[in-house]
Structure 1
């Protein structure tokens, strides 16, 4: 996704299978100044998002076919995006599950359109701050360079971007961000798999033991494609460590 122009309206997709309700929300959000599109189900969303990624998605939970919870989890793994979950169900357990699956905000229907618009603006501003490219750093003079610390691996942009010592950048998903935050704050110490699973929101009672391996494999592949040599190591029988 290219860095957005902050002068352009936020692109918002509303995924709702009730035709009348979807049309009403699209109309009202359009009047509020958003570039908004209504979609009836997950397949239509995936197609639209692949062609023109949205910055904020408003998802109904009770969709036909793939439900909103599954859609939120898939969308969250794709990169920075604001996710508003809307449902007529308001039990605490359902709110927690939606947040665990990737939603930023859970709203109970009927949703007040002004509250929804304010929530979208807040999430959209956060997403654009993450996606905005950094201004090039000014070149230090010789004296400053002599005392400056050596460049290091670090998390930036609210921990959504990994930077290597050469200045290359890698945008992170929620799971990748949580994994690296757990590892990079230990000074190179080994972190066991259970602690890492908890860090990425796993339930140790139901966790797939291969989940961490999948996250790490995907992260390494992305890093290689970005020209980065990721110093993320597996310590057999113990866990993982991040040692530059």
Structure 2
């Protein structure tokens, strides 16, 4: 079945299904969603989720919602990447319902939050509210999925998906190399501070508030540099932990030297 035919059946809900605690309960939720006109598609991991989201949000007039359930760190990381790559998708996040968890989820890009033990009625109502809001947003085509950033010239030049080049300072280069070399393109405050610190700096783990503030100033300056060049730098803060580069990026460092 083509994506266009699939979407004609109603709003699509992409479910991040990395950990299914109660399959019977999940089947009940699927049935409840189907009765309300939603089509649920399982995504076994974040990569599959991003691919499905990018494919489906390119079709004008479609409504696509990502339902992220699982560990807080995992769903927040997924939300950051979704918000960057698919800004028009709706994001429903479901985890433990503490104030800190809900704040972190919403700061990561979520639109709605449901407690982990939410009833079918609450889940369906949240999806309906999000669907209603999304239907009022004008459609803007997404860029090609093949487009990606490139850190080139031994790490001294960051090239945007549309080919704009930005020269990096030695500190910016160290920050970007550290960030992009890590799994999922994210690194902790401690890892990043160790990468950009001078030889005389003494870095504690976790870093002091002063050092974390230094990272914040660095990121703000980089965002401003790219913004002045007409480009949004996809660096996202991960609350009380570190930073993430929320886009695909080639890291070309063969023969790199400091």
Compute the TM-score of the two structures, normalised by the length of structure 2: 0.48
Decide whether the 8 Å contact of 2:13 with 2:64 is kept in 1.
yes
Deviation at 1:96, TM superposition (A): 0.6
Residue number in structure 1 paired with 2:182: none
Residue number in structure 1 paired with 2:19: 18
Pair 92,28 (structure 1): closer, same or farther in 2 beyond 3 Å = same
Bigger relative contact order, structure 1 or 2, given CA contacts below 8 A and separation 6+? Answer: 2
Decide whether the 8 Å contact of 2:93 with 2:110 is kept in 1.
yes
Decide whether the 8 Å contact of 1:14 with 1:37 is kept in 2.
yes
Counterparts of 1:220 and 1:92, CA distance in 2: 30
Counterparts of 2:17 and 2:228, CA distance in 1: 34
Counterparts of 1:67 and 1:124, CA distance in 2: 24
Aligned residues: 147
The answer for unaligned runs of 5 or more in structure 1 is 1-5, 133-160, 162-168, 172-203, 222-244
Secondary structure (helix, strand or coil) at the match of 2:67 reads strand
The answer for unaligned runs of 5 or more in structure 2 is 1-6, 58-62, 144-211, 234-258
**Alignment equivalent of 1:55, drawn from 26, 48, 64:** 64
Decide whether the 8 Å contact of 2:53 with 2:64 is kept in 1.
no
Deviation at 1:38, TM superposition (A): 2.1
Decide whether the 8 Å contact of 1:14 with 1:59 is kept in 2.
yes
**Alignment equivalent of 2:110, drawn from 103, 107, 110:** 103
Secondary structure (helix, strand or coil) at the match of 2:136 reads helix
Deviation at 1:213, TM superposition (A): 3.4
Deviation at 1:101, TM superposition (A): 0.6
Counterparts of 1:15 and 1:70, CA distance in 2: 12
Pair 218,34 (structure 1): closer, same or farther in 2 beyond 3 Å = farther
Where does structure 1 differ by over 6 angstroms across 4 or more consecutive aligned residues? none
Residue number in structure 2 paired with 1:34: 38
Pair 10,170 (structure 1): closer, same or farther in 2 beyond 3 Å = closer
Q: Deviations over 1:163-193 (max 9, x none)?
A: xxxxxx999xxxxxxxxxxxxxxxxxxxxxx
Deviation at 1:215, TM superposition (A): 5.1
CA RMSD of aligned residues (A): 3.4
Q: Deviations over 1:136-177 (max 9, x none)?
A: xxxxxxxxxxxxxxxxxxxxxxxxx8xxxxxxx999xxxxxx
Secondary structure (helix, strand or coil) at the match of 1:130 reads coil
